[in-house]
Amino acid sequence: MVTHLLRLSDLSKTDFEIFFDRAMELKRRQKQGTTHRSLTGKTLGLVFDKPSTRTRASFEAAMVQLGGTPLFISAKDTQMSRAEPIKDTARVLSRYLDGLAIRTFSQDVLDEFARFATIPIINALTDLYHPCQVLSDLLTVIQLKRGYANLKIAWVGDGNNMAHSWINAAAVLGLNLALACPQGYLPQESILDDASQKSRAEIRLTTDPVDAVKDADVVNTDVWASMGQENDLEARKHVFEPYQVNTDLLGHAAKDVIVMHCLPAHRGEEITEEVLEGPHSVVWDQSENKLHMHKAILEVLLAR
């Protein structure tokens, strides 16, 4: 098992399975009303440099439910905003805390934390990856589709942090993943190359959303402009218009397709109100599963 959770390409298939099994068990226990205090006396720091509703709240609730304490640290209120080096911050926070969930811009910052920290570092989203989200989303797929083998999974939209984490997961788990992204907004070539070198997973990239969605069991999308790209939204709207997940596009998918979106969603942009609120949408289950998956991640990484 990995020490830190920085990117899904660091995980083995067994690591994924440990997270899935543990999350399912912790979800079952919570539904039964059984308390489970495996992290009593532990403190998780949450250093966030970008906004968050779900990831912050679910990590904080996860920590409380496991008997530990969450400590939210707004990055802009720390000395990092006055250029204190990451390597110093990482070593200091390691003396107070038992783990750190970090949401920031550059993956390099996260990697630098991991290099100098003596506690587990968890990626709560960077510009490059969103691993905890894709672990939670795979848990949703497993529970609703009874596994992930033989499923056709489509990604429609920006080749962004979420797409990159899906590619990483596909390579390790051998998923059948088709991504439809516009030219100029494709996933990073190095991430695709790394995935294809490492595995025989079927990872296909196209610019045609109909092609990617054809017979898909799972259709995933995300915002057209991620956090930090807001100024680019107007230009992107034009390019991404054919990539909207709407009823017409879903008509090409399998009849019992599930539609996923990590949220927050922009209705009328990447997804229509009709689809988001419609019978194929599983977005609320996805959000709930962040809690159960984050509990599993914290237990596996912090209880050691």
Nearer to ligand CP, 53 or 247 (CB): 53
Q: Per CB under 6 A, does 30 bind ligand NVA? A: no
Residue 60 binds which of ligand CP, ligand NVA, none (CB < 5-8 A, kind-dependent): none
Q: Per CB under 6 A, does 38 bind ligand NVA? A: no
Q: Give me the least distance between CB of 125 and ligand CP, in Å please.
A: 6
Nearer to ligand CP, 205 or 245 (CB): 245
Q: What is the dihedral of CA 178, 181, 185, 187, to 10 degrees?
A: 0
Q: Per CB under 6 A, does 188 bind ligand NVA? A: no
Q: Per CB under 6 A, does 223 bind ligand NVA? A: yes
Residue 53 binds which of ligand NVA, ligand CP, none (CB < 5-8 A, kind-dependent): ligand CP
Interface map 258-287 toward ligand NVA (x if CB under 6 A): ----x-------------------------
Judged by CB under 6 A, the residue of 227, 233, 239, 254 near ligand NVA is: 227
The single-letter code of the amino acid at 291 is L
Judged by CB under 6 A, the residue of 222, 269, 270, 299 near ligand NVA is: 222
Dist CA 96 CA 117 (whole Å): 11
Q: Per CB under 6 A, does 226 bind ligand NVA? A: yes
CA atoms within 13 A on the CB side of 197: 7
The single-letter code of the amino acid at 177 is L
Dist CA 139 CA 51 (whole Å): 24
Give all strands (DSSP E) within the chain, no chain letters: 43-48, 69-74, 99-103, 121-123, 152-156, 176-180, 202-206, 218-221, 258-261
* DSSP code per residue over 104-128: -S-HHHHHHHHHH-SS-EEES--SS
Interface map 157-176 toward ligand NVA (x if CB under 6 A): ---xxx--------------
Nearer to ligand CP, 94 or 133 (CB): 133
Main-chain dihedrals φ then ψ at residue 136, nearest 5 degrees: -65, -40
Q: Look at residue 222 and give its three-state secondary structure.
A: coil
By CB under 6 A, the residues from 228 to 257 that bind ligand NVA are none
The residues that bridge with 47 in the sheet, in sequence order, are 73, 102
Q: Per CB under 6 A, does 220 bind ligand NVA? A: no
Q: Which positions touch ligand CP (CB under 6 A)?
A: 52-55, 125, 133, 262-263
Q: Per CB under 6 A, does 137 bind ligand NVA? A: no
Q: What is the dihedral of CA 12, 14, 18, 20, to 10 degrees?
A: 80
**Interface positions with ligand NVA (CB under 6 A):** 125, 130, 160-162, 222-223, 226-227, 262
